[in-house]
Chain A
Amino acid sequence: DGGITQSPKYLFRKEGQNVTLSCEQNLNHDAMYWYRQDPGQGLRLIYYSQIVNDFQKGDIAEGYSVSREKKESFPLTVTSAQKNPTAFYLCASSIQQGVWETQYFGPGTRLLVL
């Protein structure tokens, strides 16, 4: 089945530790995105990538890094520089459909700081 997978479902980070969240899609979508959601809030964009080996910062990129070595994969690293990383992280991918690209989301990863 085609879709977007994120792993792990839950992730625990110790102080000063870098952690990497996985996002894979087999939909042959060109663009991929990372959003952060805090409790009771909407989503905020961290990074996005339109093509392989290219990505752009979103509104809250500080303390995060990404790579796009393959079309199917867009991992997000939460670095120790991110002082408040506890949140729900959602990955999305999109494809142009007519005028507008529609973003489809994975199931998310909950990151907790120990």
Chain B
Amino acid sequence: AQKITQTQPGMFVQEKEAVTLDCTYDTSDPSYGLFWYKQPSSGEMIFLIYQGSYDQQNATEGRYSLNFQKARKSANLVISASQLGDSAMYFCAMREGANAGGTSYGKLTFGQGTILTVHP
């Protein structure tokens, strides 16, 4: 079964409007982190935002916010006031099994990605 599902292969948005990119996840681990990355055409993966499973409030970083609905196992990325430079591929990823307060490293499981195109 897919651990991370991004159901929107492509999305279009008008400049200055908000857009939501969907991400659902599947895990039985009570402790996990959810991450969003942006990949422009150059290929580099740019970290945007993360949400921990025990975080009470939705994460925000500038124009990015994460709409975290734990019961639905969804972690949608909301980009407000879209800019032309936001056009890129966006990946949702999950890290399972970190221990609070400890050091724990391991893989990120990535979704298939959503291509966002911002129109002027």
Contacts and interface: CB of A to CB of B under 8 A. Distances in A.
Interface residues on A, range: 20 to 34
Given A90-B45, A108-B44, A58 B107 contact: yes
Interface residues of B, number: 29
Question: Dominant SS at the B interface?
Answer: loop
Contacts of B106: 48
Nearest to B92: A42
Contacts of A30: 103, 105
Nearest to A58: B107
Interface string A96-108: 1001111111111
B58 to A, nearest CB: 16
B50 A100 contact: yes
B93 to A, nearest CB: 8
Interface of B: 4, 33, 35, 37, 42-47, 50, 52, 54, 91, 93, 95, 98, 100-101, 103-108, 110-113
A42 B4 contact: yes
A50 B98 CA distance: 14
A88 B44 CA distance: 10
A81 B47 CA distance: 33
B44 A106 contact: yes
